[in-house]
Amino acid sequence: MSPEQLRNKFPWINVEGVALASYGMEDEGWFDAWSLFEGLRRKVQSMGVLLYQGEVTRFITSSSQMETTSGEQVVLKRIHKVHVKINKSLEYQPVECSVVINAAGAWSGKVAELAGIGKGLPGTLQGTKLPVEPRKRYVHLWHCPQGPGLETPLVADINGVYFRREGLGSNYLGGCSPTEEEEPDPTNLEVDHDFFQNKVWPHLIQRVPSFKTLKVKSAWAGYYDYNTFDQNGVVGPHPLVVNMYFATGFSGHGLQHSPGIGRAVAEMVLEGEFKTIDMSPFFFNRFYLEEKLQEYRIL
């Protein structure tokens, strides 16, 4: 859409600085993330999947040496047992396994370290870490009767600020990812309300002048499984820990991709290759080869 088309469609938008806009007419929208998660969880339980909540503390592995075509000596590992510390208990449960899928989100880097990933010499495949770490992000909910109203899509501005309508009562939800220099402390989930006042609200007013009268009702914080290498997902097997597979590092858009990623990892585990979509560009190897799949404007 041109700026003129954008202004005609959404007269509440200030189109200053906009050269072009993309508007999704179908197959777009938003969903309740927790409800989707609960729906998936209950479905797999009905199919016989057993769910246990706990913390992975150790992997029991076997190893063997091999030589690559370039003459490099590498150690291949296979995981046989996972020690899982049960919540609110000093006990752990050893779980025998043939396959481990590391879908631990913001903590998947720590889980990978427990399996010895990244423990070798720097610059080698054995010394290549899974570059996924927790990053804290804020979501804000505000009320604005003078706002855009019911005809408000999810809007992602060129400066990284996003917002959408929340329900039918003049409520809106949105936020913005901080710069690398502004990254908040991820050891807690406290909300920095000044971040909204200083970094989000001014951009909201610039794009939607009626948001000048908004009142913040609530805010919360959560974790991104942030891939520091290229902010994109890691999917598929590890080249050296041969029975660990990854489904992590999506840096804020993991739940949107989760049905497809689940299918892709299942295909790799059961068939030995991707069948539906070739996900090989998202292999772990790209960290060692320094081949980025850069993702921009993470919401």
107 within 8 A of 186, measured Cβ to Cβ: no
Give me the count of residues in the chain.
299
Is 0.85 surpassed by the pTM of this model? Answer: yes
pLDDT of residue 296: 76
182: DSSP letter? G
Q: 47: which residues sit within 8 A by CB, 6+ positions away? A: none
- Could you say which residues of the chain have pLDDT below 70? 297
Cα–Cα–Cα angle for 186, 230, 175, rounded to 5 degrees: 50
Its sign, for the CA torsion 10, 155, 171, 40, is positive
d(Cα 90, Cα 168) in Å, to the nearest integer? 47
d(Cα 262, Cα 166) in Å, to the nearest integer? 28
pLDDT tens-digit series, residues 246-268: 999 999 989 889 999 999 999 99
pLDDT tens-digit series, residues 149-195: 999 999 999 889 999 999 999 999 999 999 989 999 999 999 999 99
pLDDT of residue 99: 97
pLDDT of residue 52: 86
